[in-house]
Structure 1
Amino acid sequence: MAEQEEDFSSLPLQDRVTHKNWKVRKEGWEDAARAFAATADESDPVFRPFILGSDLWKGAVTDSNVAAQQEGLSALCAFLKYGGSQACSRSRGATIQPIVEKGLSSAKAGAKQSSLEALLLYIEIEGKSDALLEDLLQGLSNKQPKVVAATLGALTAIYHAYGVKIVEPKPSLKALPKVFGHADKNVRAEASSLAVELYRWLREAMKTLFWNDLKPVQQQDLEKLFEGVKSEPSPKQKRLLRAQEQAAAAAPAADEEDPEIEEAEEETPAEAFDLAEPVDVLKKIPGDFHENLASTKWKERKEALDALYEVANTDRIQDGHYDEIIAGLAKSMKDANIAVVTTAANCVEVLAKGLRRSFAKYRSRIMGPMMERLKEKKQSVADALSQALDAVFASTSLSESLEDILEFLKHKNPQVKSETLKFLIRCLKLTKDAPSKPETKSIAEAAIKLLTESVEALRAGGAEILGTLMKIMGERAMAPYLDGLDDIRKTKIKEYCNAAQVKAKDKPKPVAPPPKAAPPAQKRAPTTKKAAPGLKAPVKRASTPQSEKLTASSPQSRPPVGKALPSKLGGLQKSGLAAPSAGLKKKLPGAGPAPTLASPKRNITSPSPYEEAPAPKLGRGLAGRPLGKPAAPVEPAAPSASAGMTAAEREELESLRADKDRLIRVNDDLRTEKSKLMSQIHELQNQNAQLIEDHTRDVLSIKAKETQLVRARSDAEAAENLVQRQGREMERLKRELSRNVREASPLNADDQIYQDRGLNGSQHHPGIERYDSGRPESREVGYQRARSYMGSPSEEKENGSLDVGAGKKPSMGRSLSGDTLAAGRGDDNGGAPAVGQGVDSYKRAAEVTSQLKARIEQMKAKQGLTRPGR
């Protein structure tokens, strides 16, 4: 009981926090935290024992009693917060490892929170995280899964608070594949959370360091998690460093001037180039690269370029001497084989992306050959060259590349001009530095020339260039270049301007504030100066509207009228007064009396007639009123402009002014008319181009028709020749048939000719054979020949012809009578032959027979064949 009532408050703090009783330790850490918070600055003596005795903090973090541990971690946070950089540097080595092993995985939520806060304070105060991050990553190798999971959670919170610009992300990314393969699901879950947090900052660039080391299933799971944060805006730093807070407090006005710029700089995502390690490509290039690149076989040249592409296709390339390689690639751009050209362009692209700014020294050697090769019409080659040009431009700036681009915009090849135009548009959209005024003028003039091209794509490209340039420079800066264009083109240019997305913005230089104006003249008393002996006292006058108008009408501001006018107005400009002529003193309208000449020793104290009189002091009653007459109200300055002139000079001045106004109006009219004429010229040029296209299309159509006509004529001639050949062949066959018939005909006069009813036109078939009744074989041959020429076998059967195949042979005295023909014809109605038809058939058969006989006799007479007994 007495032990419980013992008072330990008299003990020093360092003794109380190391006491064997956990309650004493707990109360000691509580008192220490209050003492730290009550200090005035970092040099307070209360910090000294804890700075020198860093082991005290190690005991606080690793305290076996969770209540005392929680208070010890709270005291550590207060010590770091109020103790400054010295407290952090002296205690970090003794606390980080215990915090990772004991504090982050503590059973008390307060202890966990204090441990994480201590880690954040170390980074906030020191401004760097390399040593702390190294100690944290050692916790990922701990055997206890809860320690590994707590360490991953702490890393996630650190990146969420400070971002990847303060805390280096490479070590954590390299450690991710190992923790993704951990057996504990909590560790894998915390690893996924860390990967998602890093993806918020790095996006796709983070995959270059660890993505290939993951399993496909793990990649798919992470892709699903990444989909949820892709639509989120770029994260911002949630917690400022101590140095950032001091800088913000020291210059609050500078931060408020342009917050958009700072936000844009903070939101710039990291790239794979920044995270990747540089690779020495020169050591990996094959030894026979240059030999194969100069080979006469295109396959060997392409294989050499493929080998270069494989070794150079990396995120970051170590700088070196690539002069020979660039020279070989520039030579390959002129290769006759498009596969070699495409591969060379791909090599240029990966080299430019891997070297970045180090590639700028090779730009002048490679950009020209690539742009010259843009004449290739194959789309795959054009795409490869365009990507390579974009990569080369990313390594340089618009100012460095603009001269070559504008030169190729004048190329005679339309394909080169079109691709160069697209390249310039991409450059304007990608550049981060606005072009200077001379560069803006050069680009605008080149684009305006493109507006008069006959090809629609070039005209649209010129308008897009002007629109993109207007987006960068502003409408006011581009107004002088668009003055002579018609409304249609201006509208199109503004449409391109509204749709353009650029990264650069012209920032006008801040205008110096005007000097402070002097106090008004009426508030100052008129000063007098003593003139030197022999000189006229200077007369000071205040600036009045009348004097300003008079000065404006001086000879220096308008053309000279005559000899007398400049001499008289010269005095007005110098002194502000009209020189009085001899013997005549004129009074100017609206002014007081003319001054008299003063002697050299006389000081002029009265104000000039052009100088405003000082305001009278007003008093009460009549005594405050001025005795003289009030001055006449000041008229407009027009009358005073011609003061001191003669009537002739005034008339001449008025006529010159009228001529000037007339010329201005005429000039405006002419400018308007010129704009209309230029618009008409452009329209006529467009119409002419359209007519040329129509004419070309018609000429091609006519040529196609003519080609078809020639082919048709050729086909007709070929068909005609074929018909003639067929006719000649038919004649030859007829002659051959006639000769065969004559050779096979017997010389018997009593032969009978048998034929069917198809022999009506037998006078046209002289090749019918005759047969001898005494020779069966002759009769058989004659009948077969007659049937083959005069009708088909089926028709012969239907018409009652002789059936030789059945073995029936006609008798010697039998002929084709009319009854036989009539019986063989048949009747459609009943099949019964008609009597009249048989008679007619008989008569026709008799006629045919007699004609055949007569024809045979004629043939025999011609051939000299005679038979005895006839």
Structure 2
Amino acid sequence: MADQEEDFSSLPLPDRFIHKNWKVRKEGYEAAAKEFDLAASEADPVVRQFIQDSGIWKGVVGDSNVAAQQEGLAALCSFLAIAGTQGCTRTRQHTIATIAEKGLPSTRAAAKQKSVEALMLYVELDKPDPVIEELIPLLSHKQPKVIAATLDALTQMYHAYGCKTMEPKPILKVLPKAFGHADKNVRAKSQELAVEFYRWLKEAMKPLFWGDLKPVQQQDLDKLFEKVKDEPPPKQERLLRSQQAVKEAAAAAGVAEVEEEEEEEAVIDLEPEYEAVDAYSQIPKDYTERLASSKWKDRKEVLDEVHKVLNHPKIAEGPFDELIRGFAKSMKDANIAVVSTAANCVELLAKGLRRSFSKYRSQIMNPMMERLKEKKQTVTDAISSALDAVFASTSLQDCLEEILEFLKHKNPQVKLESTRFLVRCLKTTREAPSPAEVKSISEAATKLLTESQEVQRSAGAEVLGTLWKIMGDRIMNAHLDGLDEIRKTKIKEYHDAAEVRAKYKPKPVAPPKPVAPPPTKKAPGGKRPAPKKAAPPAAAPPPPVEEPTAPLAPKPTSRPAPSKMAPKSGLAAPSRLGGLKKPGAAMAAASPRRPVVSPPLDEAPPPPQPKLAPGRGLAGRPLGKLQAEPAPAPVAPTDHGLNLVEKAELADLRSEVEQLRRHNEEIRTERTKLNSQIYELQNQNAQLIEDHTRDVLSIKAKETQLVRARSDNEAAEQTIANQRREIDRLKRELSRQVRASSPAPMDVSDHIYADPNANANGTGRFGDSGYGGTGMYGQRNRAFGTQPTSPSGEGKENMIDGSSLSRPGSNLSGKLSPLRAAVDTDRSAKSSLSSRGGRMSPPERTASGIRGAEGQSGAESWKRAAEVTQNLKQRIEMMKAKQGIGRPQQ
């Protein structure tokens, strides 16, 4: 064994790495780790050797012997620590998958720890994306222990580096599959990873995978999320090598930018990736015609169809101008359902197009903000959501001007909602406003602090507080100095509670200042010396003054003299204004005389030189400075026969300039008037359109009321006609019955019942044989009084009521008409029905019963009554004869 060990130790490290004996490999790994720890840099030969032969590390991390594998993982960590980015990029394609398959699920805690450390080093040395790409396929491995170990390693990596450094979207997309795994360990590790994501992302992570989970899984995760919901935002524990370099450089420069980076880390954008849908081709072809319909249901119906078409996360670009114009028109609709649906469509389109929607902002934003005057809260909420979506597709600089205009609106509701919209814009914008924009916003918000309504004042204070949070104390103190302490306290409360995404950084604005020195370097060696050289020629004219005797000398001296005096004779300006060639020609003709008066020309030029740019010509002078020309009045002494042509030219030019100036002022005034007229006409047109719409709607409503009134009138007339016909029929029936029942026969029974000697019990003069007694007539009458009457009214007994015969003084025989008999019969029928619990017959049946009784017993009833009366008379006579009653009557 000793000989073998000596031989093995003499072998090169790469040979020992691939040896058959695991002990040799293990010792080789340990020796390599020591060599790597002692290496000075990645240029060391030992390190370079393993960088070049990167494929050897695959067998090291996947060693079949557990003990050797543990030492091999330790050697890899030492190698990565010294090999740097080059060693990381060359070896990770060979090692990461093997580490996940054989290192992470290891039964040895040290091997598992070294595996996780190796993965973190791969992330730290370069970037995390390649590591994540290598680990994602292992989440679908056939062995559950590999999946669980990989999920655990990912949890530790995201915990150390955070979701801002490591992209969470690729893992979130495949996470739902792990939630439904059959192995409980896999499900537990996937929940731990989801909780770690929630610590960093909060609710922003849910749109990426929440819809793929079952309700039970969602409930379980919500319970786990509740435990970490109130924890403070996590911070990155390990930094990438690139981040470490930035931090060291910042520390060396003395710039504290770490805090700003930490604040930015709190905001992590997660947008699901969707395929764009071609929604333009699905829009109804008759969209414009149906939207112009006079019926609000038709307008809402077409907007509902468009809403379904636009309901996609991402929409392909297209010519949506006509669609936007329809939405803007719908914002003025009188029906709030149409307005709400149009606002929802705008929101969907803005979210689907995203940045591509910015070109439509100017067409739709003003109508929506104008409709914020609606008091219905549902409409206001829909428009506010649409405005937020529109702002998300643009920037604060694009929308600020229009928002500030609506902060001055005469409608308090529009002003309030516009202020709230501005607050939301300030909280969500990622670009801090410029100092000039801050000034405009602060002035508008300060005016709101003086409003009569407390809601308006609070909204203005919230604007200032949110702006203060973005810009910081140094900039905002200038805008808050003039406010009282009560308002400052209110603004400070909103400042402390505001959550913003943007942070003003004044440092990057300073670098442009050092750029100023380069122009100063160019000045001394560049064009500056040329004017200095040109200055001496200004003093050169004295020599030419001495040469007036030479007849040919005036021409060369005449040229420089006017050039010093002014570029008037250069004729550059006349070529611009046109029509000034003749004065130039005249000057050329007069040039021979100049030598005579050349000395005064040299004395006079100095005053005009600073006003006239050399080489620009007479008209090259700015028009704004021509009013200062009266100062050069001292030039008049130079008019001694020399400068007459120039003076005339100058006067012409001044007159033309004045005319042009007056003409320009007139044009400006006219344009201002026209602009004001256009604005007024636009307002009048909008008002007329609104009035016309209101009038049309009112006319439609009146027409609807008129149609309803006409239909009601016709129904009422029909009912009246029916009633009249019924009345006429009843009248005819009544008259017919009256004719049938008259005249009524006289009844002798009245004299009988009118006997004063008769009493109620029938024991008067009739004695025991009275109606109440037990004689022959008493029994007969008792039968009349106790026999029930039938509902049909048939039988002789029904014609004469026994109870009525027993009452004295009743006038039955003479006044009982067939009609009353029928009525009594009907009453008796009703009483019998009511006693049996029956239901009363309707009036129609009662009337028909009466008419039927009258028709059947009309003639017969009188005959029967006459017979009964005759029988009664005979019996009474017989009774009188037997008892001797007839005598007193004599």
Q: Do the structures match in fold with TM over 0.5? A: yes
Alignment-mate amino acid for residue 389 of structure 2: A
Show the counterpart of 1:72: 72
CA distance, structure 1, for counterparts of residue 328 and residue 87 of structure 2:
60
Does 1:282 pair with 2:268?
A: no
Cα deviation code 1:775-795 (max 9, x no counterpart): 456789xx99xxxxxxxxxxx
User: 1:95-106 alignment to 2 at 5 Å?
Assistant: 95-106=95-106
Show the counterpart of 1:344: 342
The alpha carbon displacement at 1:367 in A equals 0.8
Show the counterpart of 1:371: 369
CA distance, structure 1, for counterparts of residue 355 and residue 471 of structure 2:
26
Relative to structure 1, the CA distance from residue 75 to residue 462 in structure 2 (aligned partners, 3 Å threshold; closer, same or farther) is: closer
CA distance, structure 1, for counterparts of residue 161 and residue 286 of structure 2:
47
The alpha carbon displacement at 1:439 in A equals 3.5
Relative to structure 1, the CA distance from residue 136 to residue 421 in structure 2 (aligned partners, 3 Å threshold; closer, same or farther) is: closer
CA distance, structure 1, for counterparts of residue 806 and residue 80 of structure 2:
138
Show the counterpart of 1:86: 86
Cα deviation code 1:787-821 (max 9, x no counterpart): xxxxxxxxxxxxxxxxx9795759xxxxxxxxxxx
Alignment-mate amino acid for residue 182 of structure 2: A
The alpha carbon displacement at 1:314 in A equals 4.7
Alignment-mate amino acid for residue 18 of structure 1: I
Q: Give the alignment partner of residue 334 of structure 1, picking from 309, 325, 332.
A: 332
Any idea what SS the aligned residue of 1:228 has? helix
The alpha carbon displacement at 1:23 in A equals 1.2
CA distance, structure 2, for counterparts of residue 440 and residue 311 of structure 1:
40
Instruction: Tell me if the contact between 1:285 and 1:307 (Cα under 8 Å) persists in the aligned partners.
Output: no
Alignment-mate amino acid for residue 103 of structure 2: G
Instruction: Tell me if the contact between 1:234 and 1:269 (Cα under 8 Å) persists in the aligned partners.
Output: no
The alpha carbon displacement at 1:244 in A equals 1.6
CA distance, structure 2, for counterparts of residue 61 and residue 509 of structure 1:
48
Alignment-mate amino acid for residue 268 of structure 1: V
Alignment-mate amino acid for residue 405 of structure 1: I
Relative to structure 1, the CA distance from residue 230 to residue 316 in structure 2 (aligned partners, 3 Å threshold; closer, same or farther) is: farther
Show the counterpart of 1:59: 59
Alignment-mate amino acid for residue 236 of structure 2: Q
The alpha carbon displacement at 1:185 in A equals 0.9
CA distance, structure 1, for counterparts of residue 41 and residue 359 of structure 2:
54
User: 1:159-198 alignment to 2 at 5 Å?
Assistant: 159-198=158-197
Relative to structure 1, the CA distance from residue 488 to residue 158 in structure 2 (aligned partners, 3 Å threshold; closer, same or farther) is: closer
Cα deviation code 1:649-694 (max 9, x no counterpart): xxxxxxxxxxxxxxxxxxxxxxxxxxxxxxxxxxxxxxxxxxxxxx
The alpha carbon displacement at 1:368 in A equals 0.3
Any idea what SS the aligned residue of 2:260 has? helix
Q: Give the alignment partner of residue 396 of structure 2, picking from 395, 398, 401.
A: 398
Cα deviation code 1:246-267 (max 9, x no counterpart): 2222331457524321111122
Relative to structure 1, the CA distance from residue 212 to residue 511 in structure 2 (aligned partners, 3 Å threshold; closer, same or farther) is: closer
Relative to structure 1, the CA distance from residue 365 to residue 13 in structure 2 (aligned partners, 3 Å threshold; closer, same or farther) is: same
Q: Give the alignment partner of residue 322 of structure 2, picking from 321, 324, 328.
A: 324
CA distance, structure 1, for counterparts of residue 508 and residue 292 of structure 2:
60
Show the counterpart of 1:216: 215
CA distance, structure 1, for counterparts of residue 485 and residue 129 of structure 2:
61
Show the counterpart of 1:818: none
Q: Give the alignment partner of residue 301 of structure 1, picking from 299, 302, 305.
A: 299
Structure 1 unmatched runs, 5+: 516-771, 785-803, 811-870
Instruction: Tell me if the contact between 2:470 and 2:503 (Cα under 8 Å) persists in the aligned partners.
Output: yes
CA distance, structure 1, for counterparts of residue 481 and residue 754 of structure 2:
112
Relative to structure 1, the CA distance from residue 244 to residue 488 in structure 2 (aligned partners, 3 Å threshold; closer, same or farther) is: closer
The alpha carbon displacement at 1:32 in A equals 0.9
The alpha carbon displacement at 1:397 in A equals 3.2
Cα deviation code 1:483-533 (max 9, x no counterpart): 777776666666666665555566667999999xxxxxxxxxxxxxxxxxx
The alpha carbon displacement at 1:403 in A equals 2.0
The alpha carbon displacement at 1:173 in A equals 1.4
Relative to structure 1, the CA distance from residue 779 to residue 451 in structure 2 (aligned partners, 3 Å threshold; closer, same or farther) is: farther
Cα deviation code 1:309-360 (max 9, x no counterpart): 3454455555555433322322221223211210111122233334444333
Instruction: Tell me if the contact between 1:160 and 1:197 (Cα under 8 Å) persists in the aligned partners.
Output: yes
Any idea what SS the aligned residue of 1:335 has? coil
Cα deviation code 1:805-862 (max 9, x no counterpart): 795759xxxxxxxxxxxxxxxxxxxxxxxxxxxxxxxxxxxxxxxxxxxxxxxxxxxx
User: 1:618-633 alignment to 2 at 5 Å?
Assistant: none
Instruction: Tell me if the contact between 1:360 and 1:396 (Cα under 8 Å) persists in the aligned partners.
Output: yes
Show the counterpart of 1:42: 42
Relative to structure 1, the CA distance from residue 282 to residue 315 in structure 2 (aligned partners, 3 Å threshold; closer, same or farther) is: closer
Relative to structure 1, the CA distance from residue 205 to residue 507 in structure 2 (aligned partners, 3 Å threshold; closer, same or farther) is: closer
Show the counterpart of 1:231: 230
Any idea what SS the aligned residue of 2:40 has? coil
Show the counterpart of 1:659: none
User: 1:266-281 alignment to 2 at 5 Å?
Assistant: 266-271=265-270, 273=271, 275-281=272-278
Cα deviation code 1:382-417 (max 9, x no counterpart): 111122222323333333222212322333334323
Relative to structure 1, the CA distance from residue 203 to residue 254 in structure 2 (aligned partners, 3 Å threshold; closer, same or farther) is: farther
Any idea what SS the aligned residue of 2:380 has? helix
Q: Give the alignment partner of residue 416 of structure 1, picking from 400, 414, 417.
A: 414
Alignment-mate amino acid for residue 280 of structure 1: V
Show the counterpart of 1:27: 27
The alpha carbon displacement at 1:474 in A equals 6.5
The alpha carbon displacement at 1:422 in A equals 3.1
Relative to structure 1, the CA distance from residue 31 to residue 421 in structure 2 (aligned partners, 3 Å threshold; closer, same or farther) is: closer
Cα deviation code 1:226-250 (max 9, x no counterpart): 1112112222222111222222223
The alpha carbon displacement at 1:453 in A equals 4.8
The alpha carbon displacement at 1:76 in A equals 1.4
User: 1:352-371 alignment to 2 at 5 Å?
Assistant: 352-371=350-369
Relative to structure 1, the CA distance from residue 426 to residue 100 in structure 2 (aligned partners, 3 Å threshold; closer, same or farther) is: closer
Show the counterpart of 2:251: 252
- TM-score norm. by structure 2 comes to 0.54
Show the counterpart of 1:584: none
CA distance, structure 2, for counterparts of residue 485 and residue 12 of structure 1:
80
Q: Give the alignment partner of residue 382 of structure 1, picking from 352, 376, 380.
A: 380
Moved more, 166-175 or 9-18: 166-175
Cα deviation code 1:607-646 (max 9, x no counterpart): xxxxxxxxxxxxxxxxxxxxxxxxxxxxxxxxxxxxxxxx
Instruction: Tell me if the contact between 1:293 and 1:328 (Cα under 8 Å) persists in the aligned partners.
Output: no
TM-align CA RMSD? 3.9
Show the counterpart of 2:628: none
CA distance, structure 2, for counterparts of residue 152 and residue 41 of structure 1:
34
Any idea what SS the aligned residue of 2:175 has? helix
Cα deviation code 1:263-302 (max 9, x no counterpart): 111221333x2x4335335367445473575352433433
Instruction: Tell me if the contact between 1:333 and 1:341 (Cα under 8 Å) persists in the aligned partners.
Output: yes
Relative to structure 1, the CA distance from residue 209 to residue 438 in structure 2 (aligned partners, 3 Å threshold; closer, same or farther) is: closer
Any idea what SS the aligned residue of 2:8 has? coil
CA distance, structure 2, for counterparts of residue 492 and residue 49 of structure 1:
68
Show the counterpart of 1:203: 202
Instruction: Tell me if the contact between 2:33 and 2:74 (Cα under 8 Å) persists in the aligned partners.
Output: yes
Any idea what SS the aligned residue of 2:277 has? coil
The alpha carbon displacement at 1:101 in A equals 1.7
CA distance, structure 1, for counterparts of residue 254 and residue 208 of structure 2:
36
Any idea what SS the aligned residue of 1:251 has? helix
User: 1:253-652 alignment to 2 at 5 Å?
Assistant: 253=252, 256-271=255-270, 273=271, 275-282=272-279, 285-288=282-285, 290=287, 294=291, 296=293, 297-317=295-315, 321-450=319-448, 453=451, 455-462=453-460, 464-466=462-464, 469=467
CA distance, structure 2, for counterparts of residue 494 and residue 380 of structure 1:
31
Structure 2 unmatched runs, 5+: 515-747, 761-802, 810-890
Instruction: Tell me if the contact between 2:250 and 2:257 (Cα under 8 Å) persists in the aligned partners.
Output: no
Any idea what SS the aligned residue of 2:371 has? helix
CA distance, structure 2, for counterparts of residue 165 and residue 333 of structure 1:
41
Instruction: Tell me if the contact between 2:198 and 2:225 (Cα under 8 Å) persists in the aligned partners.
Output: yes
CA distance, structure 2, for counterparts of residue 474 and residue 250 of structure 1:
25
The alpha carbon displacement at 1:466 in A equals 5.0
Cα deviation code 1:182-201 (max 9, x no counterpart): 21111111111111122222
Cα deviation code 1:85-104 (max 9, x no counterpart): 22222222222222122111
